[in-house]
Structure 1
């Protein structure tokens, strides 16, 4: 009887344990379902909120773009019609080795062979032909050759003046109608040919001209001839505040972004009515008024004549870029400025950035070198792009194109022949060494006898 009771009790406990386990599993499953449902609701909530935020931002962006066009319209509507075929053909000359000018000259002190190397390398990579015009040591100019009022200039400024006048004389002595003059530390955009071709189409349709385009210009002058100087590489600039209405604006896919553009040029563009999202998309052609530096400019034959007359024949009153600014503001010469400019200075942050600084004993003043050099107001730096274009990984190319092949194995007979040749060579070398030692001993004995 005891065993029967025990058996029934055991079955009851087993049944109770099974029920408990089922209840436990059911509770666990319910909790899991509850957690998953909450998690799913949380995910849906986050997704819907994110989607709403994205829609709101998109709406704000569209509203900003729409309002930006309404709040900051361009001073006038840019010409949308395609230029005629004759204009495009003439502009295509910018694809040649002189960018459509009669020539390209660069000024460099004779001792700056490092900069001359860089300019000639850039010319070779980008299909440009540069003519070297030596810089001048102002202290070496004889007093009789110095211009009137030269005492206002430091020797470095006097030498700079002389080198630029030499460039103008080079134009007059040639058969060119125009000359692009650069200093030896310039950088430019890697798409320079396309940039100047687009500039040519705009200069041919220039709304700022005071005289109609001549037949000669239509046939032979990609940038026209109604100017004396065309600034394409100024350090900073500002426009005539009394004639801010004089501006020719055009879109350029290679213009630097607003962030990449030097603040001076952003301010000038804004003063000309270019605001908001138009910054970083367009360039402006305006009458030259206050372009600082002579880093990059083009000059016509008539411009060279006028500049030599006013900055040499009649004397000079300041550094050459400042004196040209005076002539521009006085209306003695006529010019245009392109903003943002098409050339910029290449900087390495050291004494090598200027020929007016001495190195003395601290060689750290040389700066970081071209490896870490930089320029501003350029979308695609030609100097940086040049390094990528010339970059080579020859052995990686070989491994990629020509798979590695196992060395051919030698037969036992070939291995024996090679071993025999090695053995003979070792014996021969040993005989040579022994003969040399014997000869040195004989010579020592002879010397000893002579010494005695």
Structure 2
């Protein structure tokens, strides 16, 4: 096998160094040696040095990071890069670990999709998308509100004030979460049946996993977070103690084991310090630190309200809305099932109720959460029963990487939860907010092996043709 270029470069550098050293010897030294070595001229020596450095340059530059996402603390300049902050395994081990996201369940143990049996159209569409993008989906039978007994409704739910679809959505997702608890599923991604994603989702998630592990790793160094932290349950409950005590053990999830909810799909999100009335304790905390993925070509909109165009952020949740796609750990599934079904008061629709958990009941808040024992306590400032001290560890991705697709066809068919405005109208072309290479809009291209289509560029071309025709 031919030696690599760096071998020849090192050899040349050694020869140059040896000859230069010999040329610097005193005349008496050379006379007593009894031998004469040919000496290199100055020009030849400089040439060999340049050649040696040029040969070593590829080997040197290959070890340098390229296009590394950065950490950005609120209101400050970029501080540190992700690779510089790895505190556990070596980079090659970490990359190998995160590569598990390339599997058929995106690095989670399961990917669930909630679907009403009569919405065969939605199942057909998402089955195609899942197969073409290499994702294995497991279907959860959704319920309508009328299928849920009044006796099974938690405190706070009044059929007169709640939409039937809202009750059905809550119970359907509780069923999926309960399955996680019953089967001790370590992590699961839960999708609604109108979900869509970029065809490059797996690569996006590998970058997101870097951010999730880095932020939770930073948070675990904080005494308050550490005090209120809960260990992630092991896949085998009988070995939970020993497995949790192993130092630097491989996490069960490539996203790390120190989160409860990972919001990958939402309609909108903010950063914790921007929540009205939120009390910022320490801006240096991981809670107010963002992990930035810059120059992300999978983004169409300009990141956080054009604050940094082309940037996607991983951060601790501020309060996301909608539930197009979110992941739960086993610890998170237990907390949500308890708070939103068993022991809590459901004061809002499911997505907003989960956002309340992530907004006000994190490890940072648990120490100062006040108990509540009245139905009006939440209005007066204290959390409602079942919410206090939940110690939720929630991470969000902004902009989201999972979107709610609006399909071509009758607008009335878009939602099973609420009536759609102008439902009698026909949508001529489907769309998925913020997804550049929408998987749903590229199904035919994926089947035929054609180049992917950017829905926004195609839309601009269409508008341009219409303007010319006008």
CA 1:299–1:112 in structure 2 vs 1: closer, same or farther (change >3 Å)?
Answer: same
* Residue 290 (structure 2) aligns with: 248
Find the counterpart in structure 2 of residue 123 from structure 1. Answer: 130
The 5 Å alignment of 1:137-156 reads 137-151=144-158, 152-156=161-165
- Please give the per-residue CA displacement for 1:373-420, whole angstroms capped at 9, x wherever unaligned: 111222321122222121389xxxxxxxxxxxxxxxxxxxxxxxxxxx
Pick the aligned partner of 1:198 from 195, 207, 228. 207
Matched, 1:307 2:336: yes
Larger radius of gyration: 1
Identify the residue that residue 416 of structure 2 maps to in structure 1.
Answer: 355
TM-score by length of 1: 0.62
CA separation of 1:288 and 1:391: change in aligned 2, threshold 3 A? same
* 1:365 lines up with 2:395 in the alignment: no
What is the CA-CA distance between 1:359 and the residue it aligns to? 8.9
Deviation larger for 375-384 or 153-162 = 375-384
Query: What TM-score do you get using the length of structure 2 for normalisation?
Result: 0.60
Say what the alpha-carbon RMSD is for the aligned residues: 2.9
2:357 equivalent to 1:327 = yes
Task: Say which SS state the counterpart of residue 81 (structure 2) adopts.
Answer: coil
- Residues 1:91 and 2:98 aligned together: yes
Change beyond 3 A, Cα 1:287–1:144: same
Q: Which of 414, 421, 431 matches 1:374?
A: 431
Query: Does the CA contact (< 8 Å) of 1:87 and 1:204 recur in 2?
Result: no
> What are structure 1's unaligned runs of at least 5 residues?
1-71, 394-452
Cα distance in 2 between the residues matched to 1:183 and 1:374? 16
From 174, 177, 181, the counterpart of 1:168: 177
Q: Is the 8 A contact 1:187 1:344 kept in 2?
A: yes
Gaps of 5+ in 2: 1-74, 222-230, 232-243, 274-279, 362-389, 451-470
- Structure-1 residue corresponding to 2:197: 188
- Aligned equivalent of 2:47: none
Give the Cα–Cα distance (whole angstroms) in 1 for the partners of residues 349 and 138 of structure 2. Answer: 24
Partner of residue 285, structure 1: 314
Cα offset, 1:211, TM superposition: 2.0
Q: 1:173 to 1:76 in 2, by over 3 A?
A: same
Aligned residue in 2 for 1:428: none
Q: Structure 1, residues 38-88: CA drift from partner, whole Å, max 9, x if none?
A: xxxxxxxxxxxxxxxxxxxxxxxxxxxxxxxxxx97443333559611111
Deviations 1:170-194 (A, max 9, x none): 1112242111011111110111111
CA contact (8 A) 2:165 2:418 kept: no
Q: 1:338: which partner in 2? A: 397
Counterpart of 1:426 in structure 2 is none
SS in 2 for 1:206: helix
Counterpart CA distance in 1 for 2:82 and 2:401 is 22
